[in-house]
Amino acid sequence: YRTQAEPAALLQRWYSLVREKRASRQDFLRALLKSFDINPSLKSSQVLYMAEILPLLTTEHKRKSLLSLEHLTAVLSTAGMQVIDLLSPSHLLAQLHDTRPLHNAPHQPPLSDFPTHSIDQETSNAPSSSAPLEMSHIDVAVMRSSITIGIVMLLKAHLKSLYGLSEEKCSKFVLGKKSAIGDKPAIRRHQLPITWTRLPYATTSLVQEHDLTAHRLTFIEVWNEDGVTAEPEDDDA
């Protein structure tokens, strides 16, 4: 779809069948948004696929984007905090001083409940010409979860920029309540697809030890930038 002058979502036809009725539209979106919950059965490529589709679904009002941003924020406030605590506890402690708990955040299963295994186990069935990596101390499940969280962070920033939604505007939206913000026309500021240059391992496999180290540093950098990136100007400011 990136080769098209105006990229279109592959699921747009399905979405067009349900978008006329609010309840059906929201159920469809919730089903898509579940892809961003930490789930060991989902591959990073599947999460990436949904992240590229979501911004391209056409909609008349901002409610779709606000609903999506609400869910992504909830994922970051739960599973995201767990991941950063495991990868860099000092960053989480510093951030907690300036973070207020988000209410009504959906429950995310603790990362400790996920099946974990080292890269040694993943490569145990590899050809004998490749020696097994001595990396039993690395929790691959956590690293994969960090890729999902990184995708969520970049997707959230992309949606906010695409529709001119600041964090303040997003926080005022409450699902199920009449909202003037949600009923405003959804006007895209550009037609550019989301890019993953800030998170290289979203599109590249984690194979070697240096891959894991590089991704960990990149993830922490993206996480730290999430709170200091300039907010988009509201269209209706």
Domain spans of the chain, in order of start = 12-226
pLDDT tens-digit readout, 176-186: 677 677 778 78
Does 18 score more than 90 pLDDT?
no
d(CA 206, CA 45): 12
Q: Provide the 3-class DSSP secondary structure of residue 50.
A: helix
For residue 115, the tally of other CB atoms under 10 A from its CB is 8
The closest of 173, 237, 184, 176 to 59, measured between CA atoms, is 184
- % pLDDT > 90, the chain: 28
d(CA 64, CA 58): 9
Which residues contact residue 105 at a Cβ distance below 8 angstroms, ignoring those fewer than 6 apart? Answer: 74, 77, 78
Which residues contact residue 229 at a Cβ distance below 8 angstroms, ignoring those fewer than 6 apart? Answer: 157
Q: Which position has the token pair 């036809």?
A: 13
- Average pLDDT over the chain reads 76
191 pLDDT tier (thresholds 50, 70, 90)? confident
User: Residues 67, 19: contact at Cβ < 8 Å?
Assistant: no
| 185, β-bridge pairs | 61
The closest of 119, 122, 125, 115 to 138, measured between CA atoms, is 119
The closest of 162, 173, 178, 143 to 38, measured between CA atoms, is 143
C-alpha 203 chain-centroid distance: 14
pTM > 0.85: no
Q: What is the mean pLDDT of residues 83-104?
A: 65
